[in-house]
Amino acid sequence: AAESEKESGLMALFGASVPSLPPNAPLMSNLEGREKTSLNGAWNIVVDEHNMGDRGLFGGAYYALPQEQTGMELVEFGFDSRRQLQVPGDWNSQDERLFRYRGVVWYQRAVDLKPEAGKRYFLHFDGVNYNANVYLNGKPLATHRGGYVPFNVEVTDVVVEGSNHLVVRVDASLDESTVPTRDTSDFFKYGGITRDVHLVTVAETFVHQYHVFLEDLQTRQFKAWVQLDGPAAANREVSFMVGKGGVNVSARTDENGRAEVSFKSDLALWSPETPVLHPVTISGEGFGVEDRIGFRSVEVRGAEILLNGEPVYLRGISMHDESFLKSGVAYDRADAEAQLGLIKELNGNFVRLAHYPHNEHTLRAADEMGLMVWSEIPIVSNIDWSNEDTLAVALQQITDNVHRDLNRASIVMWSIANETMPQTAERLAFLQKLAERARSLDLSNRPLAAALVGNVTEEFTAVIKRLVAEMLRDPTLDDPAVHQHLQGMAAQLIDDMDAVLNGEIEVMLEDPLGDVVDVIGYNEYFGWYYAAFLNKMLPVDEATTRHFIFKIMKDIRFRNVFGKPIIISEFGAGAKKGYVSDKGPGMIWSEEYQQRVYEHQLDMLARNEQVKGLSPWILKDFRSALRPLNGIQDIYNRKGLVSEKGERKKAFYVLRDFYAQSASE
């Protein structure tokens, strides 16, 4: 007995494995339109860097109900107001001690409730990064993986009258099999209950999900489906009221609780210029939900993107889910309006929400403010392509992303990948499954997009040829050794110097992922990264290479072998607001250099007829652990058009003027 006691003590010390909990209930859409109580505020926390909390050392698991206190129990953890974190929010920017912390934190709060018969209760989390286990009144309830998508947990059978003890174990650790993976990508993986938490009350049988959309622009045919959930979901009459005094149609649910209707209407359409949202009520006897929905058509025809039947040019910018109003993650309406307000100021009509689904306020604000949205999931760089479990997590993320935002008119494309590598059959098969999932859930046929990868050496052969040819003709490069070297290169590379100097420089995109998606995204960094890369092959210094790249950019043409529209989903340059180099003006990291990159990029892209939109990298300087350059980056990626505090850099105005010009054309 003594042995086994010791053993279990040791187990408690070293072997605490996290029990697996059932998955969360399928996501209900439209949090905004639900009866709900906010659970935002100060939550008590215990930091669990040894991952012991599932058993505890003494006093049991951290999710257990508080024990009766006679004063003689040995309990070695406790939740109270002396250690708290604000929810929503990340722990990294709230507590200096947790800035780099990527482990487990237990969150706790009381939920006061008077449960009513015939009602159902759900805990709704808009985002917990990365892994969440939810416990109520001492009971393990559900688990959720994926830091940027919402989930809900039904607690109807567990809630009691009075105070309920809610505990959430948040594990921010990532590895090679998670989505995203550990730290190879260039953004800060914040931990915590980063977004809103609510307790949602619904009827026993309630509207779980629905989608109302314009199905055919020509005939103004609309379609709507609804999914009820509950004991009386089958064979129920459901009515759809759309628009003020407009449409009122009804249908009966099938045995699975699903109903579908079609109707015709001349409801005004949504566009960035006129972002009209119509009131929508979906209801039946004893249940109902309200929403405000915009209707528009988006389609890809040949190399064009059409909005409401008209070719549209996407004047965009990329952004992370951070705000210049605060440090750390963005999470409320004020953040959303501030960020999107900057895009309006840029004369933009489009935003790429990188590299994961953003908080729900942003999508609501985009609908209302009139911005088209590229929404993506965190399939970035290297993913464990042949791991079934990784695929399951990724599928769950695209599913929840689509389900949450199906009814947002602002979303004009779902993106399934950013610069994914290596280019293998496993990668393609994995991404194909994500595409199939998105298409099966979104019956409105929103286009799919991805930022493809290019084959650098092959693609840039034409660029190198031109650089060599240009340099050979430049009298300022009079070093004979350099000339000799360039001539040697030219002899190998260039048959006809005149043709090279006078022709276009084609960058052909042929990543086979282009077959899977409808819109070809491409991230290119002419003026920033490529100078260093090309410079390694050329017998001149980096400044010279940069000079020549700027000279030739106007002739670069992006094309793709798929005949589809291209969006330049990134370009950019790092600049610290107000930075002046002691090496002189216009050096890299200065605002002037960034401005120059924008001027040349925009001049080049305006000449690219296959390019149907841009989302330069990026609106605001954002946190990145990959960027520790002291005095300049200080753990921020500095490619923002505004600083982390929102101060506009010179390039901001260059893009603003360019967009004003293209909006008026």
CB of 345 to ligand GCB, least distance (A): 23
CA pair distance 664, 645, nearest whole angstrom: 31
CB of 517 to ligand GCB, least distance (A): 16
Nearest distance, CB of residue 525 and ligand GCB, angstroms: 7
Smallest separation (angstroms) from ligand GCB to the CB of 373: 17
Residue 621 as a binder of ligand GCB (CB under 6 A): the answer is no
- Rounded least distance, CB 318 to ligand GCB, Å: 8
Would you list the DSSP string of 54-113? Answer: TT-SSSS-TTSPPPP--S---------TTSEEEESS-STTT-GGGTT--SEEEEEEEEEE
The SS3 assignment for 562 reads: coil
- Residue 565: which of 291, 225, 260, 311 has the closest Cα? 311
Of 655, 652, 658, whose CA–CA distance to 577 is shortest? 652
Measured between its terminal Cα atoms, the distance across the chain in Å is 84
639 near ligand GCB, rule: CB under 6 A: yes
Min. distance of Cβ 478 from ligand GCB in angstroms? 35
527 burial level (CB within 10 Å; 0-12, 13-18, 19+)? buried
| Cβ–Cβ < 8 Å for 377, 415 | yes
User: For ligand GCB, which residue has the nearest CB?
Assistant: 186
Residue 322 C-beta: closest distance to ligand GCB, Å: 13
Residues of span 286-315 touching ligand GCB by CB under 6 A: none
Which of 419, 442, 621, 644 is close enough to bind ligand GCB by CB under 6 A?
Answer: 419
CB atoms within 10 A of CB 464: 17
User: To the nearest whole angstrom, how small is the minimum distance from the Cβ of residue 574 to ligand GCB?
Assistant: 7
Nearer to ligand GCB, 399 or 418 (CB): 418
- 523 near ligand GCB, rule: CB under 6 A: yes
Among 617, 652, 658, 659, binds ligand GCB (CB under 6 A): 617
- Report d(CA 195, CA 87) in Å as an integer: 7
How many residues interact with ligand GCB (rule CB under 6 A)? Answer: 10
- For residue 327, give the nearest of 638, 578, 95 by alpha carbon: 95
Contact by Cβ (8 Å): 104, 183? no
Does position 524 bind ligand GCB by CB under 6 A?
A: no
Does position 637 interact with ligand GCB (CB under 6 A)? The reply is yes
Maximum CA extent, the chain: 92
Stretch 319-358: interaction string toward ligand GCB, x if CB under 6 A: ------------------------------------x---
Does residue 410 interact with ligand GCB by CB under 6 A?
no
Query: Which residue of 183, 186, 204, 304 would you call a contact of ligand GCB, by CB under 6 A?
Result: 186
Gap between the Cα atoms of 354 and 567, Å rounded: 14
304: β partners: 301
The residue (of 186 and 555) whose beta carbon lies closer to ligand GCB is 186
Q: Distance between CA 153 and CA 24 in Å, rounded?
A: 5
Tokens 């250690």 — which residue? Answer: 83
The distance of closest approach from Cβ of residue 572 to ligand GCB in the complex, given in angstroms and rounded to an integer, is 6
Residue 570, interface with ligand GCB (CB under 6 A)?
yes
Comparison of 42 and 629: residue with beta carbon closer to ligand GCB: 629
Closer residue to ligand GCB in complex, CB, 154/644: 644
Instruction: Please select the residue that binds ligand GCB; options are 418, 590, 595, 643, rule is CB under 6 A.
Output: 418
Closer residue to ligand GCB in complex, CB, 130/617: 617
Q: In the window 248-287, what residues touch ligand GCB (CB under 6 A)?
A: none
- Rounded least distance, CB 419 to ligand GCB, Å: 5
- Across 198-221, b (16+ Cβ under 10 Å) vs e yields bbbbbbbbbbbbbbbbbbebeeee
Give the residue with the Cβ less far from ligand GCB, 419 or 470: 419
- Positions touching ligand GCB (CB under 6 A) are 185-186, 355, 418-419, 523, 570, 617, 637, 639
